[in-house]
Structures are given as structure tokens and as C-alpha cells.
Homo-oligomer: A and B are copies of this chain.
Amino acid sequence: MERLQEETTERLEFYQRLDGVHAAPLWAVLSQLVRPEPRSRCVPHKWDYAGMRSLLMEAGGLITAKEAERRVLVLENPGIRGLSQITQSLYSGLQLILPGEIAPSHRHAAAAMRLIVEGGGGYTAVNGERIPMAPGDFILTPSWTYHDHGNLGDEPVIWLDGLDLPIVNLFDASFAQTYPSGDVQEITRLAGDAQARYGSNMLPPEYVPDNKSSPLFHYPYARVKEALLQIGGADKLDPCHGIKLQYVNPVTGGYPMPTMAAYMQLLTAGFSGRPSRSTDATVYNVCEGAGVTLIGNERIEWSMGDVFIAPSWNTVAHQASERSVLFSFSDRAAQKALGLWREERLND
């Protein structure tokens, strides 16, 4: 794929006429369009939680959840500012709900996941059920499901949002609606209903799903951590990832939503991971512990609450100074559905 050395006057004049009919010469852009390897415009970056929390609380004083509709500080990758993107394909933000507030009910084509960072007393309502949120809990609000949030406690509730908005918008497939009868959806199911119905390794007989997303919207931290500890006591650690599990849709065993994958991993104190890389740029949130992750040439020091991002095809190697638990999410579900995903373990 050779760069063209020179463009003759003849060609340049030709290109102008092409432009006039909304065409362009492929050979002039081929090498940028079809790269031998991913070279993302995104860069590794960390948002320090203490700092972001402070800004969030300040936002809490500047605008109400109702006026904002969603009081969120969008995390923009420094390499691609101004697009509300943390990676090329994903959106992420930190959301705050103060005691007594409501984020009004709506639904949209974009799928969303939330990882609770701080605070009890918050809830997300989905599908007529109010899901209590505790730190480390993983909550889904799948595509086109009405959802609203509230805080019935007395402390601020903060969580990390992840949405596939850039994917939806690439496909020009965005739809959205506010809930037709008020800010708060009608509650028709008891808390824990979905867990009983779908999350207990049982399903209703002859259950036929009507969409591609998990009907289980709540994955409590306590259960996940227990599972990680159980495995961690038995397995030798994966040399790159420590002990890692992925959230699944119990109806299919597949990803919880068609576009996004999510994981929880445990790194033992002193863990020093081998580098690996994959095409799914990944957003991490630190649930417990402290350590360092080497991403490409960057060294990201992290501790509880921090959010950091590893771009596509950047090498990633984790080191934990104390026992740590990292949540992460990426577009791996979409990449695998579309036949695009690759992973490499290095120095094997």
C-alpha cells in the first residue's frame, strides 16, 4: 500500500471534478482507511475519583436532576474530545442522584449499564421493578426499556454509566421516548422478582424472550465477589487477568446486552500481570484496592473509585499493590457478533 509520491496537475484537476459529483479517488486515502493494525485516536487516561466526586457534588449544587434529566459528567477521551465518547464506540459518565431526587423515566434505543460507585438508598426502576443499588452492583437498563432512578436514602448516590450511544448513532438508529404517564414508572413487580424468575438457574417453563437482552437487571456485588473469592481460592490465576468472570444473560449464556460486555476481576495482592491486548477498548472502574495498570506507554496508578480507559489494541498489564477488584466494560459483545474481535497475549 504505497503512498503516491506525486499528484500530477492532471490528476488534481480530475479529483476536483470527482468532488463535484460527490466522489473521491480511493487511492489517495486507502492507507488511512485500511490500516494494517488498529491505531486508535483514543489514548489511555484516568479520571481520579476524588476529583470527579468533588466536581459532581458541585454539579449537584448547580443543577437539579430534574432539570438536567440526567445529572452526568460525561468522560471524554482526551484523544477525541467533543464527541461524548470515552472510546470510539462507547459513552461513559459519572452520574449523581442526591437524596430525594428523581431522574425521570424515559427509554431509548441505546443500551445502558451502570456500576454503582458510592452510596446506598438509590434505586433504578426497570420493567416495573425497583432495583436497590449498592456499591459494586451491576445494573442494566436494556435498549428500549423504560427506566428511572431515585434516591430514597440520605446520602449521595454515584454510579458509572456505560452506553452504546456512538454505536446507535453510527447506524442512525436512535429512538427515544419519555414515559407517557409521569416521571416515575408504575411499579408492578416486587423487588427481587427478576432474580427469582430468571437469576436462580431456573426459568419459567417455555420461556421465550422477546428481545436480545438479559431479563435480569441486577447483579449484586456480594454474589459476584463471593464467586470470585471461591474461584480464587482454587485456581491458579490467569497470568494476564487474575480471576475474571463475565456477566451473562441467564436466558442465553451470552452477553447481557447485544453490544456491551462487562466483567469483574480480582487481582491478588502483589499480582503482576502479563501484558495482553484486544480490539475492544475497555473502561475500568476500581471497586476495591489499589495498583498500577500499564497501558501502551502509559502508567496509570489507580485506587478505589477511579475510572480508566485502555484503547483498542493497546497492551494492558495490571499490577495490584493490595487485593483489588476491577469492574470493566467494553464493546466486545458487538465486535464478536460482527466477527471483528481479536485478542493477543504477549510474551508467551
Which A residues have a C-beta under 8 Å from some C-beta of B?
1-2, 4, 8, 10-11, 14, 17-18, 21-27, 29-30, 33-40, 42, 45, 47, 51-52, 55, 58-59, 62-63, 67-78, 81-82, 84, 87-89, 91, 93, 106, 108-111, 143, 164-178, 189-190, 192-193, 195-197, 199-205, 207, 211-213, 216, 219, 223-224, 226-228, 230-231, 233-234, 241, 244-253, 257-259, 263-264, 279-281, 311-313, 331, 334-335, 337-342
* A26 to B69 alpha-carbon distance, docked (Å): 9
* A75 to B26 alpha-carbon distance, docked (Å): 9
Among candidates B52, B109, B143, B340, residue contacting A109 with C-beta atoms closer than 8 Å? B340
Instruction: Assess whether B70 is in contact with A27, with CB atoms less than 8 Å apart.
Output: yes
Shortest Cβ distance from residue A53 to the other chain B in the assembled complex, whole angstroms: 12
Q: List 25 A-B contacts (CB under 8 A).
A: A18-B55, A21-B47, A23-B55, A23-B75, A26-B71, A26-B72, A26-B73, A27-B68, A33-B91, A33-B169, A36-B174, A42-B172, A88-B172, A89-B171, A89-B172, A164-B338, A173-B335, A173-B340, A189-B234, A193-B234, A196-B227, A200-B227, A201-B248, A203-B246, A253-B253
Set of chain B residues within 8 Å of A216, measured between Cβ atoms: 201
Given A143-B339, A337-B258, A338-B167 in contact, is the A177-B36 Cβ separation under 8 Å?
Answer: yes
* A193 to B235 alpha-carbon distance, docked (Å): 10
Q: Interface of chain A, helix or strand or loop or mixed?
A: loop
Instruction: Assess whether A68 is in contact with B26, with CB atoms less than 8 Å apart.
Output: yes
Among candidates B74, B77, B248, B311, residue contacting A202 with C-beta atoms closer than 8 Å? B248
Instruction: Assess whether B201 is in contact with A27, with CB atoms less than 8 Å apart.
Output: no
Given A21-B55, A51-B21, A201-B248 in contact, is the A62-B167 Cβ separation under 8 Å?
Answer: no
